[in-house]
Structure formats: structure tokens, C-alpha cells
Amino acid sequence: MSKNSRLVYSTDQGRIKEEASAPSAPAGDGIVRIMRETKGRKGKGVTLVTGLELEASELKALAKRLKQLCGTGGSVKDFTIEIQGDQRQTIKAELEKLGHKVKLAGG
């Protein structure tokens, strides 16, 4: 038996399903960073919000709130909120109102 073996099928139970754990937010330094990025977006700018130590569902709810506040679209990818356009000041004010420590990063 090799080191990489794991049970995938049993004659008693059938196929064994592996428990998939939900990814958790990466640990940060407690500072939320807001930056503007255009790389790989054909010149269209987006505002990136990183450093939020929230669960995936809470992060999606916050992204929805920020999108409604800015009146634009956006998404959540790899625990980073992307909001269309340069919305740094609006997002900074809202996050500070919610009690987060915020820094504007990048250019």
C-alpha cells in the first residue's frame, strides 16, 4: 500500500465522498487595503478591496452593499472584492463607517 492511497470505493457503501472543507479567509494584518488596477482589463479600471478577514458569505454580502452604494457592478474572487470603476474614496468612507482600518494602496 502506497503513502498516497485513500479509500474511494467500498463494496458495503459504494463510492466514498471526500469531505471538502470550505476555504477560510487568509490571515492579514488587520488593515483593509483599497487599490485601483487596470492590468489585464483592457484599460478598464477596477477598485480592489483586500485584507478583509470575513467568511465567504459575509464577504459577498459586503460586496453587494458596496456595489449598491457605488451604483456599479463587481465580484468577489479569492477573498478580494472587485468593484468596477475608481470608487476608492466612496468605499474607504463606507468601510471606515463600518469600523475597519483602511489604507489606500497603490497609485
pLDDT in tens, 37-72: 888 778 788 999 999 888 889 999 999 999 999 999
Q: What is the DSSP letter of 17?
A: P
Residue in 22, 46, 28, 44 with CA at minimum distance from that of residue 36: 46
Is 99 part of any domain? yes
State the pLDDT at residue 44: 85
Of the pLDDT bands very low, low, confident and very high (cuts 50, 70, 90), residue 5 is low
For the chain, the average pLDDT equals 83
Query: Based on the structure, what is the number of domains in the chain?
Result: 1
Is 11 part of any domain? no
Contacts of residue 85, Cβ cutoff 8 Å, sequence gap at least 6 = 45, 46, 47, 70, 72
C-alpha cell at 30: 488587520
Check whether 26 has a pLDDT greater than 70: no
Domain of 29: which CATH number? 3.30.780.10
| The residue to which cell 498516497 is assigned | 4
Do residues 47 and 34 touch, judged by C-beta distance below 8 A?
yes
Residue 63's domain comprises 22-104
Of the pLDDT bands very low, low, confident and very high (cuts 50, 70, 90), residue 33 is very high
Backbone angles phi, psi at 88, to 5 degrees: -60, -45
State the pLDDT at residue 27: 67
Check whether 73 has a pLDDT greater than 70: yes
pTM more than 0.95: no
